[in-house]
Structure 1
Amino acid sequence: MQKIDNSQTQNEFVALVGEIQARVTRLQGAIDNHFDLDPEDIHWGHVGDLTQYLEVLTNLTDRIFNEAK
């Protein structure tokens, strides 16, 4: 059986993992800083935004961890 060289695939995978890690790091920074919002300025629009963010993240984590309902 001939072994397939998948080094290009592995390199792309590692690069994509790095891209994801960079986005997760940026996201954590935004969370730590309460999305750059002053508590006095928060309104229902911000709540709606966070609800949408949570929905997207829930879909992502459900897919990654096979937790879909």
Structure 2
Amino acid sequence: MTRKATNNAKALDAFIAAKIEIDAMLERLVALSADHFDTNPDEINWGHVGTLNHYRAKLREITDSAFREGEHTK
């Protein structure tokens, strides 16, 4: 194998490993969301709202970057 092919194979392996990790994180988030982020809906308080808004802001950064939206718009 040439050096370029070896480097591409390593890059592909690293890409797939990162994708698998992201997919696992997304599955966990979906499950946590389905469970109201491990809270009882009858006991929601402003602390829960603040935590969820923090999560939302972090996810917005990621989706804006991935979809070239928000501050990542060209």
TM-score with structure 1 length normalisation? Answer: 0.91
Higher fraction of helix: 2
Residue of structure 2 equivalent to 1:52: 54
Unaligned stretches of 5+ in structure 2?
none
> Aligned match of 1:67 in 51, 55, 69?
69
| Structure-2 separation of matches of 1:35 and 1:3 | 47
1:21 to 8, 16, 23: 23
Match for 1:61: what amino acid?
A: T
Alignment partner, residue 32 of structure 1: 34
Distance in 2 of aligned mates of 1:55 and 1:33:
20
Query: Identical aligned pairs, as a percentage?
Result: 37
Q: Which structure 1 segments of 5+ residues have no match? A: none
Residue identity matched to 1:36: D
Give the Å deviation of 1:3: 7.2
RMSD (Å), alpha carbons: 1.4
TM-score scaled by length of structure 2: 0.85
Instruction: Give aligned pairs, total.
Output: 68
Amino acid at match of 2:27: T
Cα displacement (A) at 1:61: 0.1
What is the CA–CA distance in structure 2 between the aligned matches of 1:12 and 1:38, rounded to whole Å? 39
Could you say which residue in structure 2 is the equivalent of 1:4? 4
